[in-house]
Structure 1
Amino acid sequence: MSTAELQPSKLGTKEHWDSVYEEEFDNFEEIGDEGEIWFGVESVEKMVEWAIEHVPPSPDTSILEIGSGNGTLLFALVDAGYASEQLSGIDYSAGSIKLAQAIAKTRGAENITFNLCDFLKEDPPLLPQNSQDSRHAAWDLIMDKGTFDAIALMKPDEDGNAPVANYPRHIAELLKPGCLYLITCASGFLSMSQVMIIN
């Protein structure tokens, strides 16, 4: 099934995710539950294994997660040896950022940067050490664990265009030349290089 055949869903609305993360933050505050792991622990493990093989940990490897949710994937990257100050997560739900930052404090991962950012409308903030770079082509690896699916379920705009149509171009603009993009989505686990995204 192509994304053009998908029907809009509440999973494609900011209101849904704001509600989810408000509840998950309350649960974390009350009982320490970090919330749902989108696509499960196995998907996180596979993505980390792939990253280690293709973009091994180094002090200057910059990684951006699109739609970081509760931060599970980024915390797993820290556990695998990636420098926390080189990791950044963005999400368009303020509750997600609040939850991820709270969890980071309990894990000793406060150096991960979590920013409120609507990926389809804004460029992600750069890491402080990369601020001399242009806003485009700033990342060595971009990862997405489920966000593409949520974007594919958004309602078309007033001109009838699906928001997901802008996703590949924006990913390609943010990657450094020759660097990589990794996605887990409902259609399976795959990776794409910048060239594959553009074509």
Structure 2
Amino acid sequence: MAFQPSRLGTKEHWDKVYEEELANFREIGDEGEIWFGEESVDKMVEWTEENTPPSDELSVLEIGSGNGTLLFALVEAGYSRKCLSGIDYSPDAVSLSRAIASSREMQDIQFNVCDFLTEEPPVLPKMTGDTSNNWDLLLDKGTYDAIALGEKDDGGNTPVSRYPTRAARLIKPGGYFLITSCNFTEDELKEVFDTSETGLRYHSRIQHPTFSFGGKSGSIVSSVAFRKL
């Protein structure tokens, strides 16, 4: 599916969003919006527990971690803080997640400013070498959606076209990629990520509440997991 460029696909928009959320947290302790709601977070955590149970050997990277909600939920589910890393291209998003982590005594979670499409995510202290083939699990909750709304280049390609291969090369053989999207269906996500170029194969899906309209049924969000060959 092709989308028209939108302000939701610009760094300026997200910088403004997190500037306001950071100010609110500092003033009144409001941790900010939970994208797609708490239920989607809970379902992603449940999937993670079933497929990559807590272990000190795990390495988990969230792409576009925002205020850190998903990673905090993993800690509450028993995952080691030292195994978790979040990146975001908005400095105030990282400042917000670090501030919330400090307030929850979860400072060991690694949050860093990083533009996933152009920069290498920092490794965890326990990891060696570069980030290629180093992560057991990559998580995305809405970031792919936002990137898909970015401005097209001179060739008519959106920035999101670079996403699948950049994500895939970070994952260990046998590792997983779990994505939740509100703009793409399960079939559309399969078409983009389950390819010979990425080396990812469809693994499973998360069942979300469905709705019916005009004789068709669907979900507000889609969560799909892929595994690297």
Structure 2 unmatched runs, 5+: 185-221
* Post-superposition CA distance 1:102-136 (Å, at most 9, x none): 00001110000001000000110101110x23320
Comparing both structures, which one devotes a greater share of its residues to helix?
1
Structure 2 counterpart of 1:31, from 9, 28, 32: 28
Determine if the alignment matches structure 1 residue 174 to structure 2 residue 170: yes
Query: Structure 1: how far apart are the matches of 2:132 and 2:19?
Result: 32
Comparing both structures, which one devotes a greater share of its residues to strand?
2
- What SS does the aligned partner of 1:129 have? coil
Percent of paired sites with the same residue? 58
Tell me how far 1:25 sits from its aligned partner: 0.4
Structure 1 unmatched runs, 5+: none
Determine if the alignment matches structure 1 residue 193 to structure 2 residue 227: yes
- What SS does the aligned partner of 1:121 have? coil
RMSD: 0.9
Task: Give the alignment's TM-score, normalised by structure 2.
Answer: 0.82
Name the residue aligned to 2:40: 43
- What SS does the aligned partner of 1:142 have? strand
Identify which of structures 1 and 2 has the higher relative contact order when contacts are C-alpha pairs closer than 8 Å and 6+ apart: 1
Determine if the alignment matches structure 1 residue 14 to structure 2 residue 11: yes
Name the residue aligned to 1:159: 155
Query: Structure 2: how far apart are the matches of 1:192 and 1:178?
Result: 10
- What SS does the aligned partner of 1:124 have? coil
Query: Structure 1: how far apart are the matches of 2:58 and 2:110?
Result: 14
* Post-superposition CA distance 1:15-73 (Å, at most 9, x none): 00000000000000111000000111011000000000000000110000000000000
Query: Structure 1: how far apart are the matches of 2:49 and 2:140?
Result: 16
Deviates more, 1:112-121 or 1:156-165: 156-165
Instruction: Choose 1 or 2 for highest CA Rg.
Output: 2
* Post-superposition CA distance 1:130-165 (Å, at most 9, x none): 0x2332011000000000000101011233221111
Alignment of 1:1-199 (within 5 A): 2=1, 5-130=2-127, 132-186=128-182, 187=184, 188-195=222-229
Count of aligned residue pairs for this structure pair: 191
